[in-house]
Structure 1
Amino acid sequence: MSSHQSPFTHPNDSSYGSLQTPDDSEQAVVSEEDQEPGPENADTDSTFGGSLLGCDTDTLASYITDYKYENGRQYHSYRDGEYWGPNDEHANELQDLAHHMYLMTLEGRLHHAPIVNPHNILDVGTGTGIWAIEMADAYPSAYVVGTDLSPTQPLFVPPNCAFEIEDCNMEWTYPKNHFDLIHIRELFGCVVDWDDFFQQAFTHTKPGGYVEILEHAVTPVSDDDTVDANHFFTKWGETVIGLGEKFGKSFTIWEESKARMEQAGFVDVVEKRYKWPMNGWPSPQHRTHGDDGGKSWKRLRELGVWNQLRLYDGVEGFMIRLLTTVGGWSYEAAQLFLAEMRINLKDFNTHAYLGVTVVYGRKPGLSRTASTETSSTETGSTKTDSSGFTVHPMPKSNFPGSYRGMT
């Protein structure tokens, strides 16, 4: 169990600010004038809420949930301004939709890194916590910690799952050589220094443990020249990348992860590439040309349908703060830009997609992996390698097969 404790206590916690009141038969009748000031009276003074510790926690909890509002959207208050995206209900729904798309991309798997019997797992930038919760269910013997700037995760989670308020750009306070897996997903535009980030991840990963990062591009491209230098999608990508540079946090990590992880010291670094169409344009006549995970046009079309919905409903949340706060655009100009994006998302004659990468690497040291290359013998639903070590199959999401998309 992680020694790093969350500073956030939810105000609905039954232990929060509670007072123990003696039975009436044991209470002495004392007037207010006869009471002497002292710790015992201070503890029951309503000014302190029953406990100085409870009061401090209450203040911190109130601060963390005292959300900021810009252009009608809700944003985190802790480390205000460090993240470009809102944390309101609509944004959270779109994060869960993205989780669905990543499951479809990975064929229902929660990760590609070949971990075995993990004990400690960290999910950096956990968002709604959906991945961390499913990992806790998939690995009941592991302790899964999810970190984020906002406490938007559910209250009822598996007993081996916890969430903490944390800024990944600050110094990590977890034990060194601790995590069997550190998972990162969609932190583009969130990290100040990716080399420092991966170095911290390396330091806190157990020898033989893995770091896995999933990111996608922000510039739509095509394989058939339907997106050229003059297309709006090109302008969109240039705008996002330019705003990221001005913000001081890159949006191009999707194509840099492998090299940066190797530079940090990880070995056996593997990169897998996929493609997310911008809408449902894939068909037997029109499909992507390689680097798409070998997916059928039907699966690519379904990914495109979900991606279109995610972007059409989400472009305001993705961009409004960057455009108005970082770029200095007026609200009206920003909305016109977003409207143009929505128009282009409906164009099925443009065969555009976003590149997606899944990169994982191992910290040097003793390691047993669950790869199919391991010499093993079957023992029911599990395998045993040549040294007698139990190898479990790669976990998949608990969602039904139909949820994972077409084959």
Structure 2
Amino acid sequence: MSRCDDTSFSVISSAEDIDTIFSDSGQETDVQDGTRSDSSCAESTSICPSVYRDDFAHGRRYHGYCRGRYPLPNDGREQRREELIHSLMLEINDGQLFHADIGRRPQKIIDIGTGTVADLYPSASVIGTDLSAIQPSWVPVNVRMFVDDCEAPQWLHGSGYDLVFFRGMAGFLRDLRGLLERAYPRIKKGGWIEFHDFIPQIFCDDDTMSDDDALRLFHESAVQGLRCFGFEPLQALNLKEMLREAGFVDVQCTTKKIPISSWPRDGKLKTLGLLAGMVMLESLDGLAAKPLAALGLSSHQREKLLEQAEKSLEDVKVHRYVKYCFCYEARKRMKTSPETASVAILEHKALQPYHFRFTPFLRKTYQVGLPADRPICKSFQTGSCPNGTRCSERHVFSVGGGDSRSTNTTTTTMMQSGGLNSLVCKHWLRGLCKKGEHCEFLHEYNLRKMPECNFFMRNGYCSNGEECLYLHVDPLTRLPPCPHYDMGFCPLARNM
């Protein structure tokens, strides 16, 4: 049984008797905050009570898990602001959540910052994260929500994702480049990654905004305060270059001007301006708390800046706007179809030389293909062979047996080392093997010879986690299979 503490993440559940996934994320937290729980949790269990222990400061509520990681509140007022942002982004994108062309029936999606993708694609398995356990108790059946930091290196597991979608997150990621590098190999060929973000700067093109505009000065101070937490709020401006550095090639980035307040004459822009003004008004108090406090401003100074910014926001004669950018790109598919590639391999015209050498592996691991009448290795019988699997002689071991009533000598059965004997017995691992010493598989806990976990191989994760008895092989480390060998015949076998 593992201890349940703030360094774990769990599928969100409000009921203590609901089994949910629990695994270790390795995030460091403040060990003096007194929020660690002494209760014990199984590998699959409900969310730990400590995750619900929120932090309170400046009259607002903040997440308690990974305390201090995110400097904005998570209370009801902030959740209403998030709902306004959701409506604003839908209005900006003409009702679309994203622009990636993932087809009608995607299978695997990571959704960070939205939470509504699962409703649109019931065929997909959707994964999301949040530092706060504030999601509704009822979620679609195809959603798994984790309380975790999406930047945790070991959080992003599995592969073959159709879409990795981030909304309003770029400015709050401390290592965006590292996250993109980890995400790239997990996206399938033809899969997409997409970012949607507001740039926290106030602009004006017609000189109606003065240089000492209170709203602009407030946001400039808030940006400096967020940098004290290790963030770069303006790094969404560099998303195109970062995506290219991570391996994405044809990155498409679009920036739109979103008015603040109802000053535009155009009907749609006026609607966007009203929504943007409401969002900004709701965000000022949260930005005036921890971000401005990080600059060393007193409570009185922060209240004064907040009051001036709110008053400035009411002035519709000032034609302010913010920038909204979204970037998306698909991981490139193979330039040639699998059929064309197969023909090229068969005709020895492939650009990349293929050398299938399976016989050395069989000989080394299973001693297959070696003469059956070769002599027995005496060194192996007396203890161990210094040549190991490279030895040209047979490695056999003795199994005592026989009927002592019929003879005074004990018969000895010689069993071949290798073959099935090179894998651990699955039944023995569970204590169910009835063959005993006559079993053709190994009866020992050998990490190098463990059978592979079929569940992990099919799904990219295992509900047993580190407690699983079988081997978990990262799909990214696998060698590509020979398509012809899988069909029963490989024309290159003569070269093996």
TM-score, normalising length from structure 1? 0.71
8 Å contact from structure 2 (residues 18, 45) kept in 1: no
| 2:263 paired with 1:281 | yes
Aligned match of 2:101: 114
1:332 partnered with 2:300: yes
2 CA distance for matches of 1:330 and 1:350? 29
In the alignment, the residues of structure 2 paired with residue 9 and residue 138 of structure 1 have an alpha-carbon distance, to the nearest angstrom, of 21
Letter in 1 for 2:276: N
Alignment of 1:70-85 (within 5 A): 70-85=57-72
Aligned to 1:91: 78
8 Å CA contact retained: 1:221, 1:233? no
Q: How many residues align?
A: 310
Note if 1:258 corresponds to 2:240.
Answer: yes
- Counting aligned pairs with the same residue, the percent is 27
The answer to whether the Cα contact below 8 Å between 2:215 and 2:308 also exists between their aligned partners in 1 is no
Choose 1 or 2 for highest CA Rg: 2
Give the Å deviation of 1:251. 0.6
User: Residue in 2 aligned with 1:152?
Assistant: 134
Residue 183 of structure 2 corresponds to residue 201 of structure 1: yes
8 Å CA contact retained: 2:192, 2:331: yes
Other-structure match for 2:227: 245
CA deviation map 1:184-238 (0-9, x unaligned): 1112442112211221221322221111000111111012122353333432332
Structure 1 match to 2:313:
345
Secondary structure at the counterpart of residue 269 of structure 2? helix
Q: Is the 8 A contact 2:194 2:327 kept in 1?
A: yes
Q: Is the Cα contact below 8 Å between 1:119 and 1:142 reproduced in 2?
A: yes
Q: Give the corresponding residue for 2:290.
A: 321
Alpha carbons 2:110, 2:163 under 8 Å: kept:
yes
Amino acid at match of 1:314: S
* Secondary structure of 1:332 counterpart: helix
Output the CA distance in 2 between the equivalents of 1:194 and 1:105: 25
Residues 268-319 of structure 1: CA deviation (Å, up to 9, x unaligned)? 2111222221111111xxxxxxxxxxxxx21111111111112212211233
Distance 2:170 2:202 in 1: 15
Distance 1:9 1:160, change over 3 A: closer
Q: One-letter code of the match for 1:89?
A: G
For structure 2, the 5+ residue unaligned runs are: 1-7, 21-37, 336-496
Relative to structure 1, the CA distance from residue 52 to residue 221 in structure 2 (aligned partners, 3 Å threshold; closer, same or farther) is: closer
Of structures 1 and 2, the one with the larger relative CO (CA 8 A, separation 6+) is 1
Matches within 5 A, 1:119-158: 119-124=107-112, 126=113, 131-133=114-116, 135-158=117-140
User: Does residue 299 in structure 1 map to residue 299 in structure 2?
Assistant: no
Cα distance change on mapping 1:119 and 1:16 into 2, 3 Å: closer
Cα separation, partners in 2 of 1:366 and 1:71, compared to 1, 3 Å: same
Contact 2:12 2:146 in 1 (8 A): no
Q: Taking structure 2 as the reference length, what is the TM-score of the superposition?
A: 0.59
Structure 2 vs 1, CA of residues 76 and 160 (structure 1 numbering), >3 Å: closer, same or farther? same
- The aligned residue for residue 10 of structure 2 is 7
Q: Is the 8 A contact 2:261 2:273 kept in 1?
A: yes
- Residue 150 of structure 2 contacts residue 156 of structure 2 at CA under 8 Å; is this kept in 1? no
**Partner residue, 1:29:** none
Amino acid corresponding to residue 132 of structure 1 in structure 2: G
Alignment match, 2:150: 168
SS of match in other structure, 1:311 = helix
Structure 1 window deviating more from structure 2 (79-88 vs 329-338): it is: 329-338
Is the 1:272–1:357 contact (alpha carbons within 8 Å) kept by the matching residues of 2? Answer: yes
Trace 1:202-241 onto structure 2 (pairs within 5 A).
202-241=184-223
Residue in 1 aligned with 2:356?
none
Q: Secondary structure at the match of 1:174?
A: coil
In structure 1, C-alpha distance between the alignment counterparts of 2:283 and 2:206, rounded to whole Å: 27
Q: CA RMSD in A?
A: 2.5
State the one-letter code of the partner of 2:51.
Answer: I
SS in 2 for 1:267: coil
Shift of 1:83: 0.4
Partner-residue secondary structure (3-state), 1:220 = strand
Q: Find the aligned partners of 1:157 and 1:176 in 2 and give their Cα distance.
A: 22
Query: Residues 317-374 of structure 1, C-alpha deviation per residue, up to 9 Å, x if partnerless?
Result: 23311111x212112211111111111111111100010001101222259xxxxxxx
Equivalent residue letter for 2:183: A
* Counterpart Cα distance in 2 of 1:72 and 1:335: 13
- The answer to which of 108-117 and 351-360 deviates more is 108-117
2:127 paired with 1:104: no
Distance 2:115 2:67 in 1: 24
**1:122·1:145 contact (CA, 8 Å) conserved in 2?**
yes
User: Is this contact kept in 2: 1:216–1:354, CA < 8 A?
Assistant: yes
Could you tell me how far apart the structure 2 residues matched to 1:13 and 1:333 are?
44
Instruction: Measure the CA separation in 2 of the matches of 1:216 and 1:239.
Output: 17
Q: 1:241, CA displacement in angstroms? A: 2.5
Distance 2:314 2:227 in 1: 29
- Which amino acid is 1:81 matched to? G
